[in-house]
């Protein structure tokens, strides 16, 4: 039987996490990460700008378990496409 603290830790929902921060979910999100990694350079957001976008999402109250509650996207995927923008014009 798990101790109370351990059970609370397992139930904790990460509101400010990206998929890459979710320990134990690496395999689940592997195809998403590979897709982003292999995007054509002509559509892909430059690396520095990508990280800037994700930092904005991390601070956003609409981020919920790596998804934007406004558009329903995984923010790592939305931010990875250069022409995309935040639905609230935060980036």
Q: Which stretch binds ligand SF4 (CB under 6 A): 7-15, 31-39, 41-49, 68-76?
A: 68-76
Report the alpha-carbon distance of residue 59 to residue 77 in Å, rounded.
17
For residue 80, what is the enclosing H or E element? helix 75-80
Q: Cβ distance 20 to 33 under 8 Å?
A: yes
For residue 77, what is the enclosing H or E element? helix 75-80
Q: Which is nearer to ligand SF4, 10 or 89 (CB)?
A: 89
The answer to whether 60 contacts ligand SF4 (rule: CB under 6 A) is yes
Report the alpha-carbon distance of residue 28 to residue 79 in Å, rounded.
20
Among 28, 49, 52, 90, binds ligand SF4 (CB under 6 A): 90
Among 68, 74, 76, 80, binds ligand SF4 (CB under 6 A): 68
> Where do contacts with ligand SF4 occur on this chain (CB under 6 A)?
56-57, 60, 62-63, 68, 70, 75, 78, 86-88, 90
């Amino acid at each position: 039987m798990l101790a109370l603290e351990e059970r609370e830790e397992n139930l904790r929902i990460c509101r400010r996490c990206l998929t890459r921060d979710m320990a134990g979910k690496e395999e689940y999100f592997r195809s998403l990460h590979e897709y982003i990694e292999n995007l054509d350079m002509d559509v892909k957001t430059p690396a520095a700008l990508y990280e800037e976008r994700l930092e904005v999402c991390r601070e956003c109250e609409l981020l919920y378990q790596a998804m934007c509650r406004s558009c329903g996207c995984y923010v790592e995927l939305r931010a990875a496409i250069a022409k995309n923008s935040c639905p609230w014009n935060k980036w």
